[in-house]
Structure formats: structure tokens, C-alpha cells
Structure 1
Amino acid sequence: MTFDKWFNSQSTLIKAILLLLPVVGWICEILVRLSVLLRTKKGGHLIVFLIVLFLGEFWILGAIDFVYMILNGHLILGE
């Protein structure tokens, strides 16, 4: 699964639009984090994936990821 590579290769504008759409943003975050988790198999990625999976509906997590993505070009632990 290489969704994270596809997502990170998009322009910042496309990534911002995808993250701002309510359900689409949550699904994109889950797919990016699952892709990174399967590729790296690290504990930190597992913890972040579970947090986004179960608490991802809360807008604060999406807002933090959105700001981080605008500043750095990728999600938190999504590279």
C-alpha cells in the first residue's frame, strides 16, 4: 500500500482540500497512516494510527494535522 507516497506527492493545495473535506479528510488520514504503518512497522506509527482511527472525528486532531501539513508538507508521522 503506497497511499502515503501518492498523498505526499500531491501539491499542497490538493492535500489541503482533501484534508478540509469532513469525511474525506478523515479517510485520507487513516489511509496515509495505515500505509506508513504497514511500510515501517514502528510502534509510534501504530499509536498515531489508533488515535486517528478512534478519535479522528474530533476536529482538533484534523486541525493540528492540517497546520502541520501546511508548514511541513506531510502529516505528523506520515512520512
Structure 2
Amino acid sequence: MTLGPMQIGKKATVRVAMVMEYTVEVEMPVDGDPGEQADLELFAFDRFGDYDDKDIVHSEILEEEPIYEDEREEEDWPSYV
């Protein structure tokens, strides 16, 4: 039996609506929540200083796809994997 490449994460495009609407591409571990990861990445920017997750009106996953071990590029991959 031949095993294929192991899934090590996933990538998603998430639409987040606050006062304005943003579309964010995120990468996370296999069991990660795309909406939650998008929220974290949005609030990492200083421009949202007065906002927090209570200001999010709606979050919608537009696209999600797996990331396999043989597809990653070492210099671009987050350190949590």
C-alpha cells in the first residue's frame, strides 16, 4: 500500500465584515478554524487598534483547500507547523 503526501495544514480565503469588509487569505494547522485565524490576522494590524472581535458582524469562508507536506516552501511556512 502506497501512502500519499501527508496533509500538514490548510489554506482558506475568509470574508470578514466589520465596519468595512475585508477578504483575508490565511494558513493554519489542519484542525484550525479559518474564521478565527482571519480574525487573529486582522487584529494583528495596528490600524484596528480600537476594534476587537466583538466588532465582527459576519465571517464567511469563501474557499478552503488542504496544504500537503510536499507543497510547502520552507521559507514561507509558518513556524507553528
With normalisation by structure 1, the TM-score equals: 0.29
More strand by share: 2
More helix by share: 1
With normalisation by structure 2, the TM-score equals: 0.28
